Amino acid sequence: MPLQSRHLLGLDGMRREDIQLILDTAVSFREVLDRPIKKVPPLTGKTVANMFFENSTRTRLSFELAERRLSADVLGFAATGSSVSKGETLKDTARNIEAMKVDMVVMRHSAAGAPHYLSRVIEANVINAGDGSHEHPTQALLDMYTIREKLGRLQDLHVCILGDISHSRVARSNIFGLKTMGARVTVCGPATMIPREITRLGVEVCHHIDDVLPSVDVLNVLRIQLERDAGRLFPSLREYHNFYGITRKRLEKAGRTITIMHPGPINRDVEISADVADSEHSVILQQVLNGVAIRMAVLYLLSSRT
């Protein structure tokens, strides 16, 4: 039973059995990562281009590692210093890359929908590595994988996503994926960071984190964009930390074991305190490791969908 689509553009509308297949396949690749030689041959002879039109270090590294561990040939492409700054359209850039006989394209772009557009103009399989504030499907898949690894299931778990929901592609992909897999999802943050009509996605909205923590199984803490948001979306980092920062004290008051996640990179002692980030309930580093396995699974499953 192969994946329905030959691209991974987002989790919005993805079938439950497809998500299940990716998560199950990732288990095999997670095992590969524990081997002395962490490399398997299924993508031998395939070429993958990583087109990152927006800065990213860890997602790019994670994809690159996944590609190399599947024995693919890897092409790197960073927006700075490339043809983008010379005025070439996305379509022309992509077609040029494709003319070099690339089989798959992994794309990060600041505009929502850019990979969807790309998938219509080129033949290669397209994987969305983050498009604007829209989706970041592999991040949500690795989050779900990590939750399932830690708690054994997704069905009926209560997952709270905390932070700037409006501008978060991680939040959106998690909402789509988790709802499909039967989880209960609450989004939490100041009203300035919750987009309008989001409850129509089947999530609950909460503005006071202490109200929701006592019923939460998993807390996914989003990164606060220091540069962009302070002064407009919330008054100050101090105030954000006091009202939304996840500290040991706040978690103890909740009186419940909560698995702590964060897509990284973390701002220590802003959205999450250092002791919580390093605690035994934090799975932040497992997320990073599982990210490689999930990306291997996605690349592997799509490689046969020509």
Partner 1 sequence: MQLLLKNGRLVDPLTGRDEALDLLITDGRIDRIGHSLTSASAQVIELRGKVIAPGFIDMHVHLREPGFEYKETIASGCAAAAAGGFTAVCCMPNTNPPIDDESVIRFIQARAKVALGGLVDVYPVAAVTMARKGEHLAPLAELATAGAVAFSDDGDPVADTELMRRALEYSAMFGKPVIQHAQDPALSKGGVANEGFVATSLGLPVIPRLAEEIMVARDIRLAAYTGGLYHVAHVSTAETLATIRKGKADGVHVTCEVTPHHFVLTDESLRSFDTNFKMNPPLRTQDDVEAMKGWNDRCHCDRSCAPLVR
Partner 2 sequence: MRRLKAQIIDQDGFDRTTIRLAHEILEKNRGAGNIVIVGIRTRGEFIARRIARIIEEVEHTTLQIGSLDITLYRDDLLGKLEQPQLKGTDILFDISGKDVILIDDVLFTGRTIRAALDELIDLGRPRTIQLAVLIDRGHRQLPIRADYVGKNIPTAAQESIRVHVKEVDGEDAVLLMHPEE
- Which residue among 60, 69, 136, 262 is the active-site one? 136
Could you tell me the smallest distance in angstroms from the CB atom of residue 94 to partner 1? 12
116 is a catalytic site residue? no
Nearer to partner 1, 54 or 149 (CB): 54
117's torsion region: left (phi>0), alpha (psi -120 to 50) or beta?
A: alpha
- Which range touches partner 2 (CB under 8 A), out of 19-27, 85-93, 111-119, 206-214? 19-27
208 is a catalytic site residue? no
59 is a catalytic site residue? yes
Q: Which residues contact 44 (CB under 8 A, 6 or more apart)?
A: 71, 72
- Residue 174 partner contact from partner 1, partner 2, none using kind-dependent CB cut-offs of 5 to 8 Å: none
Q: Provide φ and ψ at 37, rounded to 5°.
A: -105, 105
Residue 112 near partner 1 by CB under 8 A? yes
DSSP label at residue 73: E
Q: Which residues contact 88 (CB under 8 A, 6 or more apart)?
A: none
Please pick, from the candidates 15, 35, 91, 153, the single residue that binds partner 2 as defined by CB under 8 A: 35
Half-sphere exposure of 204 (CA within 13 A, CB side): 15
Element (H, E) at 108: strand 104-109
Residue 232 near partner 1 by CB under 8 A? no
User: CA–CA separation, 61 vs 49, rounded Å?
Assistant: 13
Could you tell me the smallest distance in angstroms from the CB atom of residue 25 to partner 2? 5
Nearer to partner 1, 117 or 243 (CB): 117
Please pick, from the candidates 6, 69, 172, 184, the single residue that binds partner 1 as defined by CB under 8 A: 172
Please pick, from the candidates 99, 196, 227, 255, the single residue that binds partner 1 as defined by CB under 8 A: 196
Q: Under a CB-based contact definition with an 8 Å cutoff, are residues 94 and 122 in contact?
A: yes
Helix axes 58-69, 284-303, angle to 10 degrees: 50
Nearer to partner 1, 245 or 263 (CB): 263
What residues make contact with partner 2 under the rule CB under 8 A?
1-2, 21, 24-25, 27-28, 31-32, 35-37, 39-42, 44-46, 300-301, 303-304
